[in-house]
Each structure stands twice: as structure tokens, then as C-alpha cells.
Amino acid sequence: MLKFGLKQYIPLAVAMLSFATVSHAATAYINQVGYRTGEAKEFALVDGNGSVEIADANGQTVLTATPSAASYWGPSGQNVQLVDFSDLKVPGTYSIKVGGQVLRSDLKISDKTFEEVAKASLKWYYYQRASMALDEAYAGKWKRAAGHTNASVQLHSSTGASGTINSTKGWYDAGDYGRYTVNSGITTYTLLSLYEHFPDYFNTLKWNIPAEGNLPDLLAEIKWNLDWMLTMQASDGGVYHKLTSLDFPGDVMPAKDKAALYVIGKSTAGTFDFAGVMAVAARVYKPFDASYASQCLEAAKKAYAWGLANPDRNFLGNPEGVSTGTYANDDPTDEKLFAGTELYISTGDASYKVAGSTEYVSWWGGMDGIATYGKATHATEFGGDAAEAKQNILKTADMFVERAQTGFGVIMNEDDFAWGSNSSAANQGVWLLHAYYLTGDSKYYATAVKAMDYLLGKNPLDMSFLTGYGTKSPKMPHHRPSTSDGVAEPVPGMLVGGPQPGGEDIGTESWECSDYRTGKPATSYTDNRCSYATNEVAINWNAPFAYLAGAIEALSAGYAPKFAAFPSTVAIKPAVVHRTSVKQGPQLRFADQMLYVEKNGKRFNLKGHRIK
């Protein structure tokens, strides 16, 4: 005899059913912006079971793939299978099926896949411009009035000087309206190097911004910030640390932030950063504006001399009464290495040479990785130092390639999930591209693309971290204009900081977040305005993303990276020549994920052997 009626079994049956759904529903994590037609393609699968089918827009299965064995990825605590679908080479939009069930229908294959995100991430710098109104013709619905137009700025006592200086222009650092020399350093270098490596590609690429004179868009944008940086140099050559209000502004548009601005601090790290950036700018702007280029070079030399004479003027924290970002630094030796390296490349003067390189990827407080790029890409000039720099780059790049073979198929490990983790992912991709430039080995290129895949959706949060792009992207970034402009969508093209478990923004104040941490670094994130520790945006985070997207596009369009040589040995050619109209000797080219030399219409590999 039945002890219970049927009704009593219903909750149990529902619970069993939902358990079945939870444990067996597979999820596919993809690059939501897309994959390149002729290249390697991979997505991640969690809770999959058996083979995967990819179907075209008509529902026809076009590829059946066998996922890899599952492996554990520590940062998210998941067992993950990787699905290689490189064999699918027809542009289009596809769906992914497991066991006949459609998991998602937004899988895209295209050519020029990252051109739009490259342009958008570069255009974001225009949206960050201080002291200028954004016209509708360029900014669309994100048009706004000019902010911070008052040129005369008070020197804070922490500068060791008094009075005022004239300072306008520059990019707002992040979600706040501060302008900081140190963070401008790595950002501006990264964007300058993108141009310097691919000048022919960027001479014609445009993204609808007001461009000064005949400058390509990329150089016009960078100049807006260089002009501001130049205002931050004191007459003795030293460079002020930052230009901000005393406290972070409220949630207002730039034009409504009327708090008095101050020039605060003067630092060795900021001064060396400035010197390195100006040394690169001198090379890059020379073909367009020789007098601006020599102004930059003189500023660089003067800053470097001040840095040598003031080796420990470190900005260790805010002076009393100031609470804006610190970009504190107690060891400016890596900034000196960067500055000396770039000054040596620009001048050929051996007194600028500084020994050393590193195997660590750069961030705003560690510029030796960037000096390592400079040395490794100038083998003739740096000799044994260049060889060591190259070894450092390859050692780390090999480790990255290895890490991306399992788990989520991403490079990052648990330690990489710090404040601005997405910039670590992007900078790792940039590092891999340098390994690729130095060897022509396509495994480095393919792994750099995996960094893009991670940032654009192949991650355990299943989201594209670039505002406005991908199926699911941040809607509530910590970015004052996006919060206060009355436009529903955030300003496009911004890479948010990304997941990390620090929880610095968690608290009980009205402006703080409630706890969003999951116990796992790669999923500790909240798409909420409160979250300055995971959902802010910043110029130094967008820059490596823009480099990665822009360089991948340039390489895939057939442009090989160029590295400026000594001005004494090779004159910088007056530029703006498209590659199709260039007639010259052997040319380094890139196609089918391979670097080769083209000479008289014939192709040779990097060892000089003829290839088809």
C-alpha cells in the first residue's frame, strides 16, 4: 500500500529534475566578437557531454568536433573542455549544439574580426579628452560640454614650488577626472609603439575624431596627451606627478566638476616615464612635424638629466588633504631603464644605455618589461643585451603558451587576478606578439589571439569586457560620464578592470558595493557602478587591448612590424606611403600566420630558405 499520495512526490521530482538540469546543462564560452576566418579557433565548454556540433544559420551541421579531455582551471574552480573548431573556415554566424541542444547561436567567423574593436578602443581616448567639447559629429549621443578648461593650475606645496602653471588637454585617467604622469607614461608608450610598429597600417586607419593637421588619427589622438604631458615639466626638467582636485569628484559630467585643480608632487618615476615617452614621440612625430619632434627630444633629455640628479624623489603616498589616485612608487630603477633605453634608440648616444631586462610583463609600476621590448627589437644596437632581452621574452612567452593549453585555454593564472586584471590579460597578449615578432613562430601569435578570446567572452563570466561589443558586455562601468550623461548605454570601447578578489570597494557606505566575491578570483566581479575595483575603466587598461587588436589586424592585413633603427644609420622616411605603392628591396611580410621575407616576388623564410 502507498504510504504517500502522488502529490507528496512532486517536490522531490522537481528537485531531481532541477538537479539534473544544473549538473548537466553545458555552457559554451566563446569570443563573442568572433574568430578569424583562416586561423586557429577555440572555445571553452563546461559540463559538456560527448561531441559538439556547429550548425549554420539554416540549422545544418557544418562541423562535428570532439572536445579535449576536461581539465581543472583554478581561477574559476571549473573543469573545462576545449573545443578546437579551426576547420570551420567560412564567414558566418553559427550555433553550438551538444546532445542536440542549442547552447548558443552567436558564434561568428569573419575577416577583419577585430578592426571594429581596435577602432573603438582607440576612439575611447577621444571620449576621455579634457578641456574640449565633444561634438555630436564625432561623439554621437555621447556628446558633451568641455570640462577642466581653466588653464591656470595651482602648484601644490608638495611640488616644492609655488604659483601656477598653465596646463590643459590630456586624457582623464579613468572613471575619475585626474591626470597622472606615471599612468600616462605606460599608456602613451603603448599607443606610440602601436603606431611605430605598424605605421603604414595606421597611416590610413580612421575612426572619426577631430585630427590635428595631417596627422593620422592615432598620432592626432596621442598628441592630445603628449601636449598635456609637456605642460607638466618644470623648467628644471623634473616632471610633476599628477594634476587632480584634492578629492575624487562626485558623479558629475566633466563640465560640472568645478573643484579647484592642483599640480601635486614631483617624482623620479614620473620624470623617467615622461623621458621615455618623449624619446619615442621624437622618433614617431619626426616625419610629420620636425620641430615638435625636437621639442619632445629636448624635453626627454632634460627630464632624464633631472632623474639622474634626483634618483630618489619618490612619490610614496598622498600629501595631507589629498585623496586622489597615488600611483606611488618606491623604486624608479625600472622607469630609468625604460627612459635610458628609448633615449639610446632615439639618439644613438651610448651614455643613455642602462643594463638589464626582465621576464616580467609590464604594468604602470613596472616599466622594465617595456624596456625589454625596446632592447629585444633593436638587436644591432643593443648586442648582447638584446639577446638577453629576447631570451627573457621567449622564456615567459613559452610559459604562456603552455598555460593556455589547458583549463579555460587562457594564459592567466590565479596571481594575475589583481586590480585591473584585464590589463594583465591584454599585456600578456602584447608580450606574446613581441615573441612572435622576434621568432616568426605562429604558436605565439595564436596564443596572443587567445588573450583576445578571453577578453571578449571566452571567460567564466561569459562576458565581453569591452563596453558596447559582444553579446553581453558591461552596462554599469565605474565611469563618471557614463553614469551621469543620461544616455542608457555606457560610452563604447572601454575595457573594464575585470575580476579580482581584493574587494577594496566592498562596504556599508551608500557608494560602496555589497560583497560580490565568489571565493574564486576569475568570477569575483560585479557589473555595478559601485565597483571601482572590478568595473572601472582606465587609459592604461585600454591601451594594451588596443595594441593587441590593432596589431593582430595589421599583421593579418599583411603588414610586418617595423622597428625604428638609429637615426644615424637609417633616416626615418617621410611617411604616409601605403604599402602597395612601395617599391623597395626585401620586405618582411605576414600571411597565413607566418612571417616571411619577400624579394623580387619570391618568398623566403626567416632562415633564408625559399618557400612557396
Minimum distance from CB of 174 to ligand 9MR (Å)? 3
Is 176 one of the annotated active-site residues of the chain? yes
Which residue among the candidates 385, 416, 536, 553 is catalytic per the annotation?
A: 536
Looking at the Cβ atoms of 394 and 466, the one nearer to ligand 9MR is: 466
Looking at the Cβ atoms of 532 and 547, the one nearer to ligand 9MR is: 532
Q: What residue type is assigned to position 582 of the chain? A: V
Burial class, 268, CB count within 10 angstroms (exposed 0-12 / middle 13-18 / buried 19+):
buried
Nearest alpha-carbon partner for 134 in 146, 122, 116: 146
Looking at the Cβ atoms of 174 and 209, the one nearer to ligand 9MR is: 174
Minimum distance from CB of 406 to ligand 9MR (Å)? 28
Looking at the Cβ atoms of 174 and 300, the one nearer to ligand 9MR is: 174
| CA R_g for the chain | 25
Minimum distance from CB of 114 to ligand 9MR (Å)? 24
CA–centroid distance for 223 within its chain: 19
Read out DSSP for 48-81? Answer: --S-EEEE-TTS-EEEEEPPPPPEEETTTTEEEE
Minimum distance from CB of 538 to ligand 9MR (Å)? 4
Contacts to ligand 9MR by CB under 6 A: 173-174, 176, 178, 325-326, 419-420, 532, 536, 538
Q: What residue type is assigned to position 605 of the chain? A: N
Nearest alpha-carbon partner for 120 in 235, 207, 250, 33: 207
Minimum distance from CB of 423 to ligand 9MR (Å)? 8
According to DSSP, residue 141 is labeled: G
Report whether 488 contacts 448 (CB < 8 A): no
- In the beta sheet, which residues pair with residue 353? none
Report whether 67 contacts 51 (CB < 8 A): yes
Which helix (H) or strand (E) segment holds residue 269: the answer is helix 268-285
CA–centroid distance for 518 within its chain: 26
Q: Could you give the CA distance from residue 149 to residue 201 in angstroms, rounded to a whole number?
A: 34
Report whether 560 contacts 596 (CB < 8 A): no
CA–centroid distance for 390 within its chain: 22
Distances (CA, A) of 197 to 20, 192, 564, 583: 53, 9, 8, 19
Q: Could you give the CA distance from residue 563 to residue 344 in angstroms, rounded to a whole number?
A: 14
Q: Could you give the CA distance from residue 598 to residue 602 in angstroms, rounded to a whole number?
A: 5
Burial class, 481, CB count within 10 angstroms (exposed 0-12 / middle 13-18 / buried 19+):
buried
Which residue among the candidates 217, 478, 505, 553 is catalytic per the annotation?
A: 478
Looking at the Cβ atoms of 174 and 448, the one nearer to ligand 9MR is: 174
Looking at the Cβ atoms of 458 and 479, the one nearer to ligand 9MR is: 479
Minimum distance from CB of 549 to ligand 9MR (Å)? 21
Q: What residue type is assigned to position 509 of the chain? A: E
Is 402 one of the annotated active-site residues of the chain? no
Distances (CA, A) of 490 to 29, 130, 414: 24, 18, 29
Minimum distance from CB of 530 to ligand 9MR (Å)? 13
Looking at the Cβ atoms of 416 and 453, the one nearer to ligand 9MR is: 416
Minimum distance from CB of 269 to ligand 9MR (Å)? 14
Looking at the Cβ atoms of 502 and 567, the one nearer to ligand 9MR is: 502
Report whether 138 contacts 210 (CB < 8 A): yes
CA–centroid distance for 209 within its chain: 20
Q: What residue type is assigned to position 146 of the chain? A: A
Looking at the Cβ atoms of 396 and 500, the one nearer to ligand 9MR is: 500
Position closest to ligand 9MR via CB: 325
Which residue among the candidates 200, 335, 385, 527 is catalytic per the annotation?
A: 527
Q: Which three cell numbers stand for residue 370?
A: 617595456
Q: Could you give the CA distance from residue 427 to residue 424 in angstroms, rounded to a whole number?
A: 5
Which residue among the candidates 176, 217, 368, 453 is catalytic per the annotation?
A: 176
Report whether 171 contacts 129 (CB < 8 A): yes
User: 168's torsion region: left (phi>0), alpha (psi -120 to 50) or beta?
Assistant: beta
Minimum distance from CB of 576 to ligand 9MR (Å)? 36
Minimum distance from CB of 173 to ligand 9MR (Å)? 5
- The residues that are catalytic are 176, 478, 527, 536
